A and B are shown apart, each in its own frame.
Chain A
Amino acid sequence: MAEGMDFESLVACYYEPLYQFAFSLTRDEADACDLVQQAFCIWANKGHQLRDTTKVKTWLFTTLHREFLSVCRRRTRFPHVELDHAADELPVVSPPAVNRLDTEQVLAALGRLDEVYQAPVALFYLQDCSYNEIAAILEVPLGTVKSRLARGLGRLHQLLTGEKIEMPKPKYL
């Protein structure tokens, strides 16, 4: 258990941002609840192994993301058809209409991104995580995070506004 924080306090502190992250990834309430619950369950069993108690937040987000990937792998074994094809028919939202977007539309656009871009983009918007924190949570190098963010955000931007931003070769990422 993190120093000075019991399980209830930990849940109270992090369940909401974890749920937001989980829902961004799954876009399903039950699945998101399960991921959050699973993350805390793993914390209850293994959290004491974490020596640096300042890393609790990163640890929880990393654990949740790992669980998400694990669930995705299991579902790949037993695939079922989702309504992804319908997402391709989502209307492009004109720039002035962005203010009228609802969360569902934003998440639908997020869901249209390639999977590797979804988690970094969600963290980018949700938590004000630094690029280093996002890299730590997703367990990928910093350069990879920046590269995925640039491409993911560019694509999301295009989906929401119709404006395509040319992506130069990532020499600076």
Chain B
Amino acid sequence: MNRDEAKSILLLYRHGTADAADPQIIEALALAERDQELKDWLVIHCAREFVVRQKFRQITPPAGLKEQIISEQAASERAVPIWNRKIGWVPVAALLLLSGLLASLWLANRGHGEDTLAVFQTQMAGVALRGYGMDVTTNDPVAIRVYLAQNGAPSDFVLPAALKQVALAGCAIEGWRDAKVTMICFRTSNAAPEATSDLWLFVVDRSSVKKTSVGSVPRLAKVNRLMTATWVQGDKLYFLGTAGDVQAIQHYL
């Protein structure tokens, strides 16, 4: 083993860890004991590696992440139908046997799954936050409506006056149960340079979302990390979201 080979091996050496038990590292360390230049390099290298490792470990999760994970999981469990929960076979079987009538009703309705507004909001916010691809990238509102109409997604939506002033970035079609959801992507003046869009409007047929207690007045709520507004107009349900606070979303309503 020469000095260069030893250096390349010692790049993988983390002082104070089990790495020192690796046969190749043992051999390289032994060479460093005999080779003063290599030894000097190793001292500097270890100090440098310590600093770099510290920098990695200074990465700090945003406040509230742990609580958010736990609360969203709890909400998700509440949203899971009881027949999908891991509660064991015996009670489920007994329940089904004793509740024939209820089971029949359940079977008649299970295809609808959990179609509530809360689930819809969570799912669409997830689309916006977890990455999406725009089917059409354009700032032409007519082109967007034509594309949506051609593909069977809601295209006869009505935009609030303030939202009409925001630059369009494009659109996509998402799925919600058996319905198609129009996703309009906007790029506001506050958008980060690398962001393709930072404000999203989802439009879906009102009838496809159950338990929609909202009316024509937008209801504001934090969903995941988005500030959102939800309202109904005509036969459509509108769900608008962006990062920011209440003022940020109200600016577009």
Contacts and interface: CB of A to CB of B under 8 A. Distances in A.
Contact of A160 (B52, B65, B73): B52
Given A71-B130, A82-B194, A98 B52 contact: yes
B62 A33 contact: yes
B69 interface: yes
B56 A161 contact: no
Contacts of A29: 62
Contacts, number: 133
B156 interface: no
Which secondary structure dominates where chain B touches chain A? helix
Interface residues on B, range: 35 or more
Contact of B4 (A19, A23, A40, A168): A168
Interface of B: 4-5, 7-9, 11-12, 14, 17-19, 22, 24, 44, 48, 51-53, 55-62, 65-66, 68-70, 72-73, 76-77, 86, 129-134, 193-194, 196, 225
Interface of A: 7-8, 11-12, 15-16, 19-20, 23-24, 29-31, 33-34, 36-38, 40-41, 44, 48, 71, 74-75, 77-78, 80, 82-83, 95, 98-99, 101-103, 105-107, 122, 124-126, 128, 130-131, 146, 149-150, 153-154, 156-157, 160-161, 165-168, 172
21 contacts: A7-B70, A23-B59, A29-B62, A33-B225, A36-B69, A37-B69, A37-B72, A44-B73, A48-B86, A78-B134, A80-B196, A95-B44, A124-B14, A125-B56, A128-B17, A131-B12, A150-B8, A150-B11, A156-B52, A165-B4, A168-B8
